[in-house]
């Protein structure tokens, strides 16, 4: 079945830019959604359909999907961005949803 | 706006069946995909399966033999049944709307223990 690969952790200093990658076979042909989950809270979608930002999500969050990798970019990172981030796709070959393993973002 | 709320027992005995319901308010259940997702302690998100408004379903391959997801349009609810549970099924269970999962319930903790 389809596999999405994320780095287990990313660390970034406040005010800098964090990039979280999500790799998968021919991922550019799929729509990628990104979720932020803070401890004790439900996940929240921060980017859907590769690069669209839901209402209420700051413009500091952006997404791209090309070259075999999808990337979530967070600019001007602050302590409130510390969370687990998951990518997700619909694998239409097998008719199921797949999540990446998740990336823990730490703000130094 | 649309809100989702999970409900069901917080404790289930091993080998028994876990049953949860997700109630949709502020909108109709008669469109979109409706998913169940879980997060075991110390692990990542795991998709369990979903039901479409037609009643058609898709399930995660690893759980397919034990899972049933159904829709009750008259009550604006959809449900999860997971049979023959073990400690490995202990998790926070969430319901969510559509493939983009743009709306989530708050989650409910289910512990499998005797």
Interface contact A42-B106, CB threshold 8 A: yes
Interface contact A42-B107, CB threshold 8 A: yes
d(CA A42, CA A8): 20
Interface contact B104-A49, CB threshold 8 A: no
Minimal-distance CA residue of chain B relative to A31: B100
Interface contact A101-B94, CB threshold 8 A: no
CB atoms within 10 A of CB A15: 10
Residue A2, chain B, CB below 8 Å: the answer is no
Q: pLDDT value at position B54? A: 84
CB atoms within 10 A of CB B67: 18
- pLDDT of A22 strictly over 90: yes
Upper half-sphere CA count for residue A100 (Cβ side, 13 Å): 31
**pLDDT tier at A93 (50, 70, 90 boundaries)?**
confident
- B21-46 pLDDT tens trace: 999 999 989 889 999 999 999 999 99
Q: pLDDT value at position A82? A: 98
Q: Which of A31, A94, A99 sits opposite B45 (nearest CB)?
A: A99
Q: Among candidates A100, A69, A70, which has minimal Cα distance to A87?
A: A100
Distances from the Cα of A41 to the Cαs of B61, B63, B105, in angstroms? 27, 25, 10
Interface contact B61-A1, CB threshold 8 A: yes
Q: pLDDT value at position B90? A: 98
Q: Among candidates B74, B106, B81, B86, which has minimal Cα distance to B3?
A: B106
Upper half-sphere CA count for residue A58 (Cβ side, 13 Å): 11
Residue A34, chain B, CB below 8 Å: the answer is no
Interface contact B44-A84, CB threshold 8 A: yes
A97 contacts A89 by C-beta, under 8 angstroms: yes
**Cβ neighbours of residue B68 closer than 8 Å, sequence gap 6 or more:** B57, B80, B81
Q: Is B87 helix (H, G, I), strand (E, B) or coil?
A: helix
Q: Among candidates A33, A16, A22, A12, which has minimal Cα distance to A82?
A: A12
Q: Among candidates B40, B73, B36, which has minimal Cα distance to B54?
A: B73
Q: pLDDT value at position A68? A: 86
d(CA A86, CA A100): 6
Which residues does chain B have with pLDDT short of 50? none
d(CA A7, CA A24): 13
Region A36-59: mean pLDDT is 97
d(CA B95, CA B103): 9
Distance from CA of A32 to the nearest CA of B (A): 9
Q: Which of A42, A49, A102 sits opposite B104 (nearest CB)?
A: A42
Q: pLDDT value at position B68? A: 98
Mean pLDDT estimate for chain A: 96
Residue A43, chain B, CB below 8 Å: the answer is yes
Q: pLDDT value at position A1? A: 84
Which chain B residues contact residue A31 at CB under 8 A?
Answer: 99-100
A2 contacts A89 by C-beta, under 8 angstroms: yes
Quick one: what percent of chain A has pLDDT higher than 70? 100
Which chain B residues contact residue A37 at CB under 8 A?
Answer: 39, 45
Rg (CA), chain A: 13
- pLDDT of A103 strictly over 90: yes
């Amino acid at each position: 079945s389809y596999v999405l690969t994320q780095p287990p952790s990313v660390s970034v200093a406040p005010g800098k830019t964090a990039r979280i990658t999500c790799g998968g076979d021919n991922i550019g042909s799929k729509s990628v959604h990104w979720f932020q989950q803070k401890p004790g809270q439900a996940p929240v979608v921060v980017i859907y359909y590769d690069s669209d930002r839901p209402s209420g999500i700051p413009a500091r969050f952006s997404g791209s999907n090309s070259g075999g990798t999808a990337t979530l970019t967070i600019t001007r990172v602050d302590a409130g961005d510390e969370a687990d981030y998951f990518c997700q796709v619909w694998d239409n070959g097998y008719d199921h949803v797949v999540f990446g393993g998740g990336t823990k973002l730490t703000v130094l | 706006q649309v809100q989702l709320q999970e409900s069901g027992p917080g404790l289930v005995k091993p080998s028994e069946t876990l049953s949860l319901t997700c109630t949709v308010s502020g909108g109709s259940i008669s469109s979109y995909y409706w998913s169940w997702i879980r997060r075991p302690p110390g692990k990542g998100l795991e998709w369990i399966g979903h039901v479409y408004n037609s009643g058609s379903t898709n399930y995660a391959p690893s759980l397919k033999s034990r899972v049933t997801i159904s829709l009750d349009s008259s009550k604006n609810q959809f449900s999860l049944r997971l049979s023959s549970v073990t400690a490995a099924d202990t998790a926070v269970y969430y319901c969510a709307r559509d493939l983009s999962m743009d709306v989530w319930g708050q989650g409910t903790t289910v512990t499998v223990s005797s």
